[in-house]
Amino acid sequence: MYIGVLTAPVREKPLSEVITWASSNNIAGLEVDVSSGSHLDATTAGEVVVENTLDLLKKHNVKISALAAYTVLTGTTTEKIETNRRFLERAIALAARLGVDTICTLGGFPSAGKDRFRTIKEDLVYILKPLLERAQQHNIRIALENWYATNLQNLDHWVALFESLPNENLGLNFDPSHLAWQGIDPIGAIYEFRDRIFHFHAKDVTINASLRSRRGILGEGWWRYVLPGYGVLPWGEIIGALRDIGYNGAISIEHEDRAFPIEEGFIRSSRFLSELI
């Protein structure tokens, strides 16, 4: 395992600066934002950009753990779904040119009039299967983040996904913070889905029990995302479980903690996690 960061919070900085900064701070991997307008836009990156990026990565001994191509494939308009599908096709092509084997994206939102199970079985399968087949041609994997708002809210939804799409190159960008506040055991999930964990997000969550007891679990404001080590997640057990299942990929820090500036948050998280891996 190695420490990485999701570059979304610094997507407007030149990627060359981010690579240099990562190398200077003992961060070995980058989950690079390739959305429109980012520092490695999948829709516009040409051969010169690709070659320069590869040269910089080699020079600074930093690798791209995954391309961050977070977009929505269900639960929005037909026009947006088609635009997002084409974006993922371009992300796959960019990954192939860069020699990156993983693309991280989302599992879509529930379609109108359907629950998550029906959306997965009737809509997501139809859209995602051709993308998986295209990715497989380049030995590229697609990892869906288990963001609770998407179709992958709980573990039964994960089961439905992999039963509907058994493709070996479909897996998870596993984020334990989305499980913890729902009361779902992240350790058990790591073991249950051990063969489907392609990438890993390091993000914690803090819970205000007093507010929860007042507003209830369906209320808002009683939990928030924080840096690893500042919330309720048992990071020693999590890293131990990942080690136990043979995971040797990135521990990619996703910084959504409003209490810390971006670079400071990355460095604090990296130091904390480095003691565990």
Q: Six-digit token pair at 261?
A: 């500036």
What single letter denotes the amino acid at residue 57? L
pLDDT of residue 230: 98
pLDDT of residue 241: 99
| Structural domain boundaries, residue 219 | 2-274
Non-local (6+) Cβ contacts of 27 within 8 A are: 3, 4, 5, 21, 62, 266, 270
pLDDT of residue 33: 99
Domain count, the chain: 1
pLDDT of residue 89: 98
Tell me the C-alpha to C-alpha distance, in Å, between residue 7 and each of 3, 54, 97, 128, 177: 13, 17, 19, 25, 18
CATH number at residue 76: 3.20.20.150
- Report mean pLDDT in 10-residue bins for the chain, 277 residues: 98 97 98 97 96 98 98 97 98 98 98 98 98 98 98 99 98 99 98 99 98 94 98 98 98 98 98 96
Non-local (6+) Cβ contacts of 236 within 8 A are: 276
Predicted model pTM = 0.96
Nearest to 175 by CA among 207, 153, 206, 157: 153
Q: CA-to-CA distance for 142 and 167, rounded, in angstroms? A: 10
Burial class of residue 199 (count of CB atoms within 10 Å of its CB; 0-12, 13-18, 19+): buried
3-class secondary structure, 220: coil
Q: CA-to-CA distance for 105 and 173, rounded, in angstroms? A: 8
pLDDT of residue 27: 98
Whether 143 contacts 167, CB under 8 Å: no
pLDDT of residue 176: 99
